[in-house]
Amino acid sequence: MATTIEEYDLIIVGAGILGCAAAKAFGSDNRKVLLLERDLSEPDRIVGELLQPGGMNALKELGLEDCVEGIDGIPCYGYGVIRQGETVEIPYPIDSETEKQAVGKSFHHGRFIQKLREAASSTENVTVKEATVNSLLREENGDKVIGVVAQSKADEESKYYAPLTIVCDGLFSKFRKEFTTKTPDVRSNFVGFIMKDLVLPMPNHGHVILAKPSPVLMYQIGTHDTRVLVDVPGKLPSVSTGELKKYLQGTVAPELPESIRPKFLEALETERLRSMPNGFLPPSVNQNDGMILLGDAMNMRHPLTGGGMTVAFNDVVLLKDYLSHENVPSFADSEVILQKLNEFHWKRKNYCTAINVLAMALYRLFAADEDADLAVLQRGCFSYFKYGGLCVSEPVGLLSGLIQRPIILVYHFFAVAFHAIKIEAISNGWAGAHRSFIMFFTVLYAACVTILPYLWSETKY
């Protein structure tokens, strides 16, 4: 069997969220780009369906804003958080760029991906091929990546060479382990299905229901379709034995608002239940000669706050600048590229730290079923949101990628902790200095276990 050999400036592995955006960005900068994707048909997945306003802005900067049009997408103006029958609205803040209320968009992931792929393939200098990358080619007597070996659906093997390869092959990345010892920490799975023609309590908002034992997400992704994602902590009950369905009917359904429950139960009878692991993977510095690991392959957070695509698009905006023709005339100049990637790692913390840490901290808090200390903090957090104003606009500005100053997160972290102490003291009474003293440390401890481990792993080199 003959092996085809071709040369490019840049090879991108994976035409998902990050790969398509990167192909368009670097192709537009006159680099000869090859984008390799194992399956170019429309994906049918339960991921990447709500794009935050900060992601919309990045999409615009990449000239890809049309990709959210013509796919029956639904504008999203913020969140509704529901706890024990009470709802608090968390609207997106005013976008400083447009001076209007910020807006996100939710849609069917597959339709959006196909639009991104069309945009990539119609960009000058970009070639898109359907092939699975099986291995990376390395320089003889060295570690530098110089290309890839890929196999087409017709079983033809090709070797593609380039001085730089971006690997963005997603959360189940085949190549991650070759470049980092970090592995995703998976604590739960999302089980997803569609509910037909449901009117949510707050239309055009993402819904987070603080159910027990774990949160449930809902958002409309098309005229007739509402996505539900149920977080199932620990080992997933079996689908084939019907255990999962029983769990959703018996444990989750009673936790939902009455207006939603009938459609939820109806969908359980007709829809296919699908699941995805929810992982946390702190970012690593790219120190690999000839290759960059990006997207979910390099950095992940719990999807509760829908931040993955926003981080991915912002990464492309930043990287296209660091690796522009002006900054790096040739991708063969490994030394300059490694130096730029080091700068990129620290600069991206402006947006990714808050998104990553908030996703994980809010998840721990919202899934505070058995832990009494975390439950105190959960109540405090919900009540803090009820204040509105900055108590809402800054946290949601951070998680939606609109505010890129992670220090604000630290302020709100302490504000929620002190607020939780206050309402606990008010509701239980100040039974002497001793009790208040214990309560103070209990709540502060709970706040620390939700945020500090993630802040720490974010800032580790």
Residues that bind ligand FAD (CB under 6 A): 13-19, 36-39, 46-51, 132-133, 168-170, 174, 190, 229, 276, 278, 295-297, 303, 306-310, 312
Tell me how far, at minimum, the Cβ of 443 lies from ligand FAD, in Å.
31
Tell me how far, at minimum, the Cβ of 279 lies from ligand FAD, in Å.
8
- Whether the CB-CB separation of 32 and 125 falls below 8 Å is answered with yes
Residue whose CB is less far from ligand FAD, 19 or 163: 19
**H helix or E strand, kind and range, residue 374:** helix 372-386
Tell me how far, at minimum, the Cβ of 448 lies from ligand FAD, in Å.
27
Residue nearest to ligand FAD (CB): 16
Residue whose CB is less far from ligand FAD, 232 or 376: 232
Provide long-range contacts, Cβ within 8 A and 24+ apart, for 424-427.
Answer: 424/376, 424/379, 424/380
Residue whose CB is less far from ligand FAD, 174 or 422: 174
* DSSP assignment of 73-110: -EEE-EEEEEETTEEEEEE--B-TTTSSB--EEE--HH
Of residues 392, 437, 431, 450, the one with CA closest to residue 205 = 392
Tell me how far, at minimum, the Cβ of 231 lies from ligand FAD, in Å.
9
Round to the nearest angstrom and report the end-to-end CA distance of the chain.
Answer: 45
Residue whose CB is less far from ligand FAD, 309 or 392: 309
Residue whose CB is less far from ligand FAD, 198 or 447: 198
Tell me how far, at minimum, the Cβ of 312 lies from ligand FAD, in Å.
5
What is the spatial distance between Cα 81 and Cα 211, in angstroms, rounded to a whole number?
A: 11
The torsion angles phi and psi of 64, rounded to 5 degrees, stand at: -115, 15
Tell me how far, at minimum, the Cβ of 113 lies from ligand FAD, in Å.
7
Dig out the tokens for 172 from the structure.
């189940």
Dig out the tokens for 73 from the structure.
């997408």
**Cα within 13 Å of Cα(350), Cβ side:** 12
> What distances in angstroms separate CA 423 from CA 43, 420, 427, one per listed residue?
47, 5, 6
- Whether the CB-CB separation of 402 and 93 falls below 8 Å is answered with yes
Residue whose CB is less far from ligand FAD, 358 or 421: 358
Residue whose CB is less far from ligand FAD, 58 or 365: 58
What is the spatial distance between Cα 120 and Cα 24, in angstroms, rounded to a whole number?
A: 5
Residue whose CB is less far from ligand FAD, 67 or 376: 67
Tell me how far, at minimum, the Cβ of 100 lies from ligand FAD, in Å.
21
Tell me how far, at minimum, the Cβ of 438 lies from ligand FAD, in Å.
39
Q: What b-and-e string marks burial along 93-131, b requiring 16 or more CB atoms within 10 Å of the CB?
A: bebeeeeeebbbbbbbbbbbbbbbbebbbebebbbbbeb
Residue whose CB is less far from ligand FAD, 37 or 458: 37
Tell me how far, at minimum, the Cβ of 433 lies from ligand FAD, in Å.
46
Compute the chain's Rg from CA coordinates. Answer: 23
